[in-house]
Amino acid sequence: MTDRQTTRRAFVTALGALTAAGLVPRPATAAGGAPAAAPDAPRVARGLAPSPDDFAFEPGLVYLQTGSLGPTPRPVMERTMAAWKELELNPAAYGYGAHEIAMELVRAKAAAFIGCGKEEVVLTNCTTEGMNWVASGLTFTAGDRVLTTDQEHPGGRVCWDYAVRRHGVVLDVVNIPPGENDAQAIVDRFAKAITPRTRVLSFSHLLSSTGLRMPVAELSALARKRGCIAVVDGAQAVGGIDVNVKALGCHVYATSGHKWLMAPKGTGLLYLSDDLGKAVDPIALESGRGAYSASSGVCSIPSVLGLAAAMDYHTAIGTAKIEAYNLALRQRLFAALASVPKLRLVSPAAGPLTSPLVSFVLPDAVKSGDLHTRLRARHIEVKVVPGQWFNGNRISTHLFNTEQDVDALVAALKVELA
Ligand SMILES: Cc1ncc(COP(=O)(O)O)c(C=O)c1O
């Protein structure tokens, strides 16, 4: 072990001990935070959540950051913890027995949830892992081209940078400027950028930067027509909007459990369409697509079983109902933000390209990171949009958010930006 590893291990151990002892400050309790609700305060319903007790947020927190990490509802946490406790009764017996069988049922449930066959679904740890498997499982020759956008999250982009470095692939990039709201213009830009050497079209379903909903069905049809593979980074979509991969027509769809699906952290799904055959052939799938195989090794069994509970949670409410709710709340947010001074909204105002994500640009004098810190001090959690895109923040509205959450954010922004 190197000195650096020893030091890091010592640091992590010490940090763990401090956290357990309550000595590391918790993020949302900065000075000036909203007063915590009294323990006996009446419990209020949270949006579409079936029970007011479903979310374990610290009192007073307005959580508008599902796009980064979703909260896990109590019923999902409880099923995850129950599975973990059961596993520890006899790890080998459960892990290679009942739980392994149950994980195959999770694949079947996931297939029904996103509209494909069980054998087309692979369990992953996250979107990034799925994208990495796809890019590393394709056979490239130098000069092959991949077409993507300038708005891809690193989780959907790094894999292609790797292909450029390792295999001499050329990356072509279509621009999607903040404020874009024209599906046909996006499709036309892609069509124009495809060359005879283009092998892959890779793009997000919902852009991490502005939340714009990409015209996935049209782009997938274009890819198929031009003999390319359509790879979709769906990290921001599944759980927040209704997703049916067959209807979208893409070849590949990677998503995370721990965002809009509100599943345990470190869960994900990868759809590999049957008609890909062996075109995507990563090492991890050498021994098949089962939850546990010789080439994939052991995964976080309780988390995978919790992922099934998260899908059940969504299905019980109804995915179409969740999407309609999230979009209605985002429309309310969008309209209210229009009255906040200094903000420039860059997400689509209305129409088919909208999603439950809304982003705004700030003037240069107001740093998005500073605004984020000040909102956190008010117990409001939002995202800082990475600087390569713009100086701004992104808001997520999911099924547990309410009109009061939206109003609290808008009121806080009016004060902070006055
Ligand atoms: C579009 C997009 N792709 C990929 C990722 C990475 O997700 P994960 O960390 O689950 O791999 C994110 C995370 O925010 C994202 O927004």
Q: Is residue 121 within 8 Å of 105, Cβ to Cβ?
A: no
pLDDT value of position 1 = 37
| Mean local confidence (pLDDT), 77-95 | 98
Q: Which residues of 238-273 are buried (b: 16+ CB within 10 A; e: fewer)?
A: bbbbbbebeebbbbbbbbbbbbbbbbbbbbbbbbbb
Closest ligand 1 atom number to CA of residue 207: 1
pLDDT at 81 over 80: yes
Question: What does the pLDDT read at residue 254?
Answer: 99
What's the CA gap between 262 and 309, in Å, rounded? Answer: 10
Going from N- to C-terminal start, the domains of the chain cover: 30-73+318-416, 78-315
The answer to whether 180 touches 215, Cβ cutoff 8 Å, is: no
CA dist., res. 405 & res. 155, Å (int): 29
- Second CATH level (architecture) for the domain 30-73+318-416: Alpha-Beta Complex (3.90)
243's CB contacts (< 8 A; 6+ apart) are 114, 115, 205, 234, 237, 253, 255
pLDDT, residue 71, reads 98
Task: Give, for ligand 1, the residue of 123, 134, 153 to mutate: max count of ligand atoms closer than 8 Å to Cβ.
Answer: 153
What band does 343 get if pLDDT is binned at 50, 70 and 90? Answer: very high
pLDDT in tens, 279-331: 999 999 999 999 999 999 999 999 999 999 999 999 999 999 999 999 999 99
Q: Do domains 30-73+318-416 and 78-315 have the same CATH topology?
A: no
156 CA from centroid of ligand 1 (Å): 7
- DSSP assignment letter at 238: B
pTM of the model: 0.91
Which residues neighbour 314 within 8 Å (Cβ) at sequence distance 6 or greater? 113, 239, 261, 262, 322
Mutate to test the pocket of ligand 1, among 160, 161, 208 (most ligand atoms within 8 A of CB): 208
pLDDT for position 371 = 98
Q: How far apart are CA 138 and CA 118, in angstroms?
A: 22
Segment 164-195, tens digit of pLDDT: 999 999 999 999 999 999 999 999 999 999 99
CA-nearest residue for atom 4, ligand 1, is 155
CA neighbours within 13 Å on the CB side: how many for 180? 25
Spacing, Cα 6 to ligand 1 middle (Å) = 30
Q: In angstroms, what is the span from residue 400 Cα to ligand 1's centroid?
A: 21
Q: Which residues of 291-323 are buried (b: 16+ CB within 10 A; e: fewer)?
A: bbeeebeebbbbbbbbbbbbbebbeeeebeebb
Pocket test for ligand 1, best of 68, 212, 252, 256 (most atoms within 8 A of CB): 256
Q: Rounded to the nearest whole angstrom, what is the distance from the C-alpha of residue 167 to the centroid of ligand 1?
A: 24
pLDDT at res. 45: 77
Model pLDDT, residue 41:
55
Question: 324 CA distance to ligand 1 centroid (A)?
Answer: 23
CA 284/CA 288 separation, integer angstroms: 8
How many CB atoms are closer than 10 A to CB 403? Answer: 14
Segment 123-142, tens digit of pLDDT: 999 999 999 999 999 999 99
4-60 pLDDT per residue, tens: 343 334 333 433 433 443 444 444 443 334 444 445 555 667 999 999 899 999 999
Beta carbons of 202 and 234 less than 8 angstroms apart: no
Question: Residue 147 Cα, ligand 1 centroid: separation in angstroms?
Answer: 19
How large is the average pLDDT for residues 81-95?
Answer: 98
- Is the domain 78-315 a CATH 3.40.640.10 member? yes
Give percent of the chain with pLDDT exceeding 90: 89
Tell me which of 127, 210, 255, 394 to substitute to probe ligand 1's pocket, judged by most ligand atoms within 8 Å of the beta carbon.
Answer: 127
Q: What is the distance between the terminal CA atoms of the chain, rounded to a whole angstrom?
A: 54
